[in-house]
Chains A and B, each alone.
Chain A
Amino acid sequence: MTESRPAGAELVDERPAHGGSVLEVRDLVKHYPVRSGLLRRSAGAVKAVDGVSLTLDRGRTLGLVGESGSGKSTLARVLVGVETPTSGQVLVDGEDVTGRSRAGRKQLRRDVQMVFQDPYTSLNPRMSVSEIVGEPFAIHRIDPAGGRRAAVGELLELVGLDPDHANRYPHQFSGGQRQRVGIARALALRPKILVCDEPVSALDVSVQGQVINLLEDLQEELGLSYLFVAHDLGVVRHIAHDVAVMYLGRIVEQGPEADVYGAARHPYTQALLSAVPVPDPSVRLVAPTVVEPSPVEPPLVEPVDPSLVEPVETRIQTGEKRPGIGGIVLEGDPPSPVDPPSGCPFHTRCWLAPTLPEARGEAAASSTKGSETESAGPVVPDRGLRLVPSVCETEVPALVTRGAAPDHVAACHFARELAAPGAGA
């Protein structure tokens, strides 16, 4: 590629044809040492992020989903330079920003800013909104054209707040408005990338949408790129162009939003999607209660002749095919990142592995047969008795593409088993 970039040219050279990538993460690892005993000897490490590679294209949104403890927030913190990685590279505009000095990290923050989850604790209650939004200018010793005051006013307007409220304090704003203040602060230095760590999860449903729309408008207006970290798969689906799914510090599946949601290839992704409650009462987690004692209250009448009722335009009626909530219910909690399982990190909870013929290979079809019948998949009371293919226990699956979509990768030895039946999921 003949992309001329001043610094870090040797890195640019080996870059693949990602002309449009603004952020690239290569093999990022962040381990926190666990010390124990009197001498504080290192007794292992929390493998919060364990070899993650990502690419974020300019003007796009990459959604990062996973359960708590999956390492998604740690990754976000490394990207903005709050944490230094144990190893690996973070390239912003093709330039490696890891291993920078303090001053260098400060410089990084002009390009990469963060929006935090909790608008109640991420704003200093003793600072006025204009001080909060203007603080980046002070820290970076920047005098915006037209003066700081005017710049703050513009920023507030940009995020839909009244500039006349600049002298108010955070407690005088609602949750949604505070989150707007947090976004205005993040935008002050005109960053290229916004790392949003659960930016709407603390907000009420009716306010969430407003903030999501704002983020989308800002992206269009300012050409921003977002790394959008969230546990709410519905929100991510709406806002993200591409999605990466993390489990125990690794990415297990990654691809364009439509592919990951429409044809998940990793059993963990499928389980996650199936666990998301959908606002459609025909997709029940539990069968509706059959009422004997109250013949009453004409239970579920078609209230009006359906032909007269114009279906409300909620998307719930689109009859989209999905496996049904709770179709796959995972057993147990995610394992500890201090001592992740060998081989595929998901094999201890995987619903697919025990059902594979390979699982029964050696230990001759003991009693796994019956367990397949229930929708919940194998119900194994004691994890010690679980039989999974030995390759799952011993080898870490690589993130590889299977099938037609080259951008859609999954780290599962048996992704092929899923490609077919799971496709409709």
Chain B
Amino acid sequence: MSAATDRTQATPSGTPLLEVTDLAVEFRTPDGVVRAVDGLSYRVEAGRTLAIVGESGSGKSVSSLAVMGLLPDTARVTRGSVRLGGTDLLTLSRKEHRARCGDQVAMVFQDALAALNPVHTVGYQLTEALRARRGLSRGDARKRAVELLDLVKVPNAKARVKEYPHQFSGGMRQRVMIATALAMDPDVLIADEPTTALDVTVQAQVLRLLAEIQAERHMGLVLITHDLGVVAGVADDVTVMYAGRAVEQAPVVPVYTTPAHPYTRALLRSIPSAAGTGRLPVIPGRPPSPAAMPAGCPFHPRCDAVRDVCRTDVPPRATPAPGRMSACHFASDIMAGREPAPEAGVTASASGGSVPEPKGDPDD
């Protein structure tokens, strides 16, 4: 029964490991308060991979720092909740927040060289959390460190725990980062651009490793990336962010076959690849500065399907199809590959928040 009620709210019945609802984060800057994340919601389920895609400044990294309780002092969460196993982390003190995360959510950062401490051995860093939290003895910690390195397939783990980060190659360092994150057996792993600094052949190794570990442990994985190729290769669900907001959310396949937001569509078109010779279709302009957000839809100055309503009204979170969200006034049109009507769409989809598939869609 409760499942049914859930369904009416268009949420899945499976209990998510991590659920972020309407998250907003602001930064104090010399130019005033700037909103970096604005109303982001997502859920992470066991064994599934959620990819958060966006360009730099889209808020994808800031939102995960907020989840982890790692925001810098200049930032503040102004709205929303982050529920982890029934508790809203944002209601906890910072210390409790981090403690809860430490046990259940772990993070892998992009730049493993910067994230690892150069003056400690890899083995020391791998088990720092275990020693601090679980009070492991040095001998046990050493043993566990070797196990962890084995887990991420670092060859010759026994010898390598005694080495320092600079003695590892980029790919091996990223494996160490992943091992460090796995030390506490997290339920959810948040990986922020884990392979961006790596060569493609090594990237493939690391992605494959992450997927294997995830499947084995039935972990929820949040993969933050700008690479739509990586997303297509590993994600189950996708959240596309632009200017601090989620503009499209859907399972992976429809995002690529029938994108429901003009930004997603334009991004996909702008990827240089195979068949493409001649001019690349590009998105004109650049992402807005969070200090000077345009009125209405934040994407409207760059959108190829812009209408008057886009310049004035912030688009609602529309549901152009079950399980999909698009923050576009013309989501259904975009998804169906139609040009939005010159002005007609204003009344059709701007009314009443999320309209499930505008009823009278009179197409053929």
Contacts and interface: CB of A to CB of B under 8 A. Distances in A.
Interface of A: 67-68, 174, 176, 204-210, 212-213, 216, 231, 233-235, 237-239, 261, 271-272, 274-286, 288-289, 291, 293-304, 308-318, 320, 325-326, 329-334, 381-382
Contact of A294 (B14, B257, B336): B14
A309 B334 CA distance: 10
Given A285-B211, A309-B337, A315-B274, A298 B323 contact: yes
Contacts of B204: 274-275, 277, 285, 325-326, 329-330
Contacts of B232: 277-281, 283-284, 316
B193 to A, nearest CB: 13
Contact of A291 (B14, B208, B230): B14
Given A176-B286, A314-B268, A330-B201, A303 B14 contact: no
Given A206-B267, A281-B232, A301 B322 contact: yes
Interface residues of B, number: 83
Interface of B: 7, 11-15, 45-49, 55-56, 155, 169-172, 199-205, 207-208, 211, 215, 226-236, 251-260, 265-277, 279-284, 286-287, 302, 320-324, 335-338, 363-364
A332 B199 CA distance: 12
Nearest to B49: A289
Contacts of A309: 257-258, 335-337
Contacts of A274: 204
Contacts of B171: 333
A318 B338 CA distance: 20
A289 B47 contact: yes
Contact of B200 (A276, A282, A303): A276
Contacts of B324: 303
B208 A315 contact: no
A230 B48 CA distance: 33
22 contacts: A204-B287, A205-B267, A206-B283, A209-B280, A209-B282, A209-B283, A237-B272, A238-B277, A261-B274, A276-B200, A279-B232, A283-B232, A286-B215, A294-B12, A296-B14, A300-B254, A301-B323, A303-B254, A309-B336, A326-B207, A330-B201, A381-B155
Given A315-B271, A318-B274, 4 more contacts: A210-B282, A238-B273, A281-B233, A311-B257
B12 A296 contact: yes
A210 B283 CA distance: 8
A315 B276 contact: yes
Nearest to A315: B275
B236 A288 contact: yes
A163 to B, nearest CB: 19
A234 B272 contact: yes
Contacts of B230: 277
B92 to A, nearest CB: 27
A332 to B, nearest CB: 8
B55 A204 contact: yes
Contacts of A216: 279
Contacts of A329: 201, 204-205, 208
A171 to B, nearest CB: 13
A294 B252 CA distance: 16
A329 B203 CA distance: 10
A48 B268 CA distance: 36
A177 B356 CA distance: 41
A184 to B, nearest CB: 18
A271 B256 contact: no
B257 A293 contact: no
Given A275-B204, A296-B12, A296-B13, A303 B283 contact: no
A205 B270 contact: yes
Contacts of B200: 67, 231, 233, 272, 275-277
> Chain A CB within 10 Å — which of B252, B253, B260 has the most?
B253
Contact of A286 (B208, B276, B322): B208
A32 to B, nearest CB: 19
Contacts of A382: 155
B259 A312 contact: yes
A311 B208 contact: no
B286 A294 contact: no
A212 B276 CA distance: 13
A326 B233 contact: yes
A281 B283 contact: no
A295 B233 contact: no
B228 A279 contact: yes
A174 B292 CA distance: 14
Contacts of B267: 205-206
Contacts of B172: 333
Contacts of A310: 336-338
B270 to A, nearest CB: 4
B229 to A, nearest CB: 3
Given A303-B321, A309-B335, A312-B259, A279 B277 contact: no
Contacts of B266: 206
Nearest to B156: A382
A350 B47 CA distance: 33
A118 B50 CA distance: 30
Given A271-B201, A278-B229, A310-B336, A300 B253 contact: yes
Contacts of B15: 293
A279 B234 contact: no
Contacts of B208: 285-286, 326, 329
Contacts of A315: 271, 273-276
B229 A276 contact: yes
B128 to A, nearest CB: 26
Given A238-B280, A301-B321, A289 B215 contact: yes
B357 to A, nearest CB: 9
Contact of B258 (A282, A286, A303, A331): A303
B286 to A, nearest CB: 5
A288 B50 CA distance: 12
A20 B252 CA distance: 47
Contacts of A334: 199
B226 A205 contact: yes
A261 B272 CA distance: 14
Contacts of A333: 169-172, 202
Contacts of A277: 200, 203-204, 207, 227, 229-230, 232-233
Contact of B364 (A308, A311, A312): A308
Contact of B254 (A204, A237, A272, A301): A301
A29 to B, nearest CB: 24
A293 to B, nearest CB: 5
Given A67-B200, A285-B211, A314 B323 contact: no
